[in-house]
Amino acid sequence: MDIAQVSDLSSYQAKLQALGFSGEHSLEQLLGAARAARPEMASYLGVSVSALATTLNNVAGSSSSIPQAMATAISHATYSLGVAIDFIPQPRSAPALAAAPTSSVPEVNLIPEMPPIRDQASRGTCVAHAALAAYEHFLETQGAYQDLSEQFLYWNCKRNDGIPHEEGTWLQVAVPLLHRDGCCLDTTWPYHPSPIPGNEGQGPPPGGAQIEALNFRPYGYQQLSSTSVDDIKNELAQGRCVAFSVPVFNSWLGSQWVAYSGDITMPVPGEIRVGGHAMCFVGYKDLPGAGLGGGRFLLRNSWGSNWGINSPHGVGYGTIPYAYIAKMGAEAYAIS
C-alpha cells in the first residue's frame, strides 16, 4: 500500500517521502525498515520509540503480508557480507568521466544473459561472486560461457589482500587478480559454503587449478567512479555488467520486505553501517519524478533463492536507488 493512503502517517509524509517511501508498497517498505532500525526511525521522525511502535502496530493491518512459507524461508536464511568497507585501499574509486555522454536509453536489462543465481552461504565471499558474475556475463555474450570458481578467486584474494586471516576482501583486489591470474572452472574447485576455522581462503587449490585458471582471464577491466550514476549507466547501456560494493545498513539487511521484494531502501538518518557488500549491476530503469535520484539500478545478489524471493526480475535479483549509489557507492568495476 502507498503510505499516502494511510491517515495515521499523514504527519510524517514529507520526511518519509524524502527517504523514498512513496508509491506502491511504500507502507511495506516502511514497516520493514522501521522494525529493523526502530530507534533511528523514531529519532528521524521526532517521536519516541514507543510512540512509533504504536503507530506501526496501528497501520500494519493495512499492509500486504508475505506468504508464510516465504517469510519462514527468509527468517531462516543466512545473508553474509564480505567487503572490508572501512579499509578499501586507495584509490578506492576512479574519477567520474565528465566528458562521457549520458546514456539516453531509459531502461536496460541484462538479466536474460546471466548465469544461475549463486549462494555465498555463510562465508564473506560476495566480492568473488560479484566479480565472476560480471565476467561470466561477458563470456556468455561472447558465446564462451564457463561456470568459474568463486572458491578459487576468493582464495587468490586472501593470499594477496594483506588481511589473509580476516573475512572479506575488496573488488580492488579481486578484479586485477582475475585479469592477471584468471580463474579455474567451478568443477575443478567447487565452492565450499562453510568457513574453515584458521583457513579463511581454504587453500591450497587442487593440482592444476592455477594453470587452468590462466585460460580464463578477462581481456581488460575498468575502474569506474563508484558514485557516478551516469558512468555506471553508460557501461550497462553498452552491455557490460558492473561489479560494485556499498555499505550496508540494518534497515534493509534486517527487513523481511527487502528480502522478499529485492528492493533495497535508503538508510535511515543516524544509522551506523553494519558492514559492506558486493553485488553486480545488471541493468537500470529511469523513473523520472519518482525521487531517489531518478531511478533504480537492477542488481544481482549472491544470497541464493531466499533473497529477492518475489522480485519481478527473478529470484535473487533486486534493485537499489540511484541515490544510494550517488551518495555511498564504494567500488565499481566493469569487466570485458
- Tens of pLDDT along the chain (336 residues) come to 888 888 888 888 899 999 999 888 999 999 999 999 999 999 999 999 999 999 989 988 888 889 999 999 999 999 999 999 888 877 777 777 655 566 789 999 999 999 999 999 999 999 999 999 999 999 999 999 999 999 999 999 999 999 999 999 999 999 999 999 999 999 999 999 999 999 999 999 999 999 999 999 999 999 999 999 999 999 999 999 999 999 999 999 999 999 999 999 999 999 999 999 999 999 999 999 877 889 999 999 999 999 999 999 999 999 999 999 999 999 999 999
Q: What is the CB neighbour count within 10 angstroms for residue 75?
A: 11
C-alpha cell at 9: 502517517
Give residues with Cβ within 8 angstroms of 262, minimum separation 6.
Answer: 301, 307, 308, 309, 310, 311, 313, 316, 317, 318, 319
Q: CATH second-level architecture of 74-335?
A: Alpha-Beta Complex (3.90)
Q: For the chain, what percent of residues have pLDDT higher than 70?
A: 98
Give residues with Cβ within 8 angstroms of 156, minimum separation 6.
Answer: 177, 181, 183, 201
Q: What is the CB neighbour count within 10 angstroms for residue 51?
A: 12
Give residues with Cβ within 8 angstroms of 126, minimum separation 6.
Answer: 80, 81, 82, 83, 120, 168, 245, 277, 278, 279, 302
Cis check: omega of the bond before 67, within 30 degrees of 0: no
Give residues with Cβ within 8 angstroms of 27, minimum separation 6.
Answer: 1, 2, 3, 6, 9, 21, 59, 62, 63
Distance CA 295, CA 106 (A): 9
Q: Tens of pLDDT along 179-237?
A: 999 999 999 999 999 999 999 999 999 999 999 999 999 999 999 999 999 999 999 99
- Asked if 203 contacts 155 with a C-beta cutoff of 8 angstroms, the reply is yes
Rama region for 133: left / alpha / beta (φ>0; ψ in -120 to 50; rest): alpha
* pLDDT (0 to 100) of residue 66: 94
C-alpha cell at 176: 586485477
